[in-house]
Amino acid sequence: MNTPTLAARLICAAAAAVTTLLLFSAVVSIAEPQRSELMVKNQRMHKPAPMTTALALASNTTSRTGQ
């Protein structure tokens, strides 16, 4: 039985890795616009109501003369 050389095995492994990355990027690029639209729709639905911010100031009630 003839086994492929190391160079042939490395070339096949590199080709398989490139093919896997290309297929993965194709799936991500197809799914990305749909994901973005879904995120925008969810942000509109869950938009928090505008809230007013109140500032509370604490007054210093202790006198400095007793210290």
Residue 42 belongs to some domain of the structure: yes
For 6, the domain range is 1-47
Residue 36 belongs to some domain of the structure: yes
With a cut of 70, say whether residue 54 has pLDDT above it. no
Residue 55 belongs to some domain of the structure: no
**When comparing pLDDT for 2 and 52, which is higher?**
2
Q: What is the DSSP letter of 62?
A: S
Name residues whose C-beta falls within 8 Å of residue 4's C-beta, 6 or more positions apart in sequence.
12
The rounded radius of gyration (Å) of the Cα atoms in the chain is 32
pLDDT of residue 62: 62
Q: What is the DSSP letter of 16?
A: H
If residue 64 lies in a helix (H) or strand (E), which one and from where to where?
A: none
The percent of residues above 70 in pLDDT, for the chain, comes to 66
Residue 23 belongs to some domain of the structure: yes
Q: How far apart are CA 24 and CA 21, in angstroms?
A: 5
Q: What is the total count of domains within the chain?
A: 1
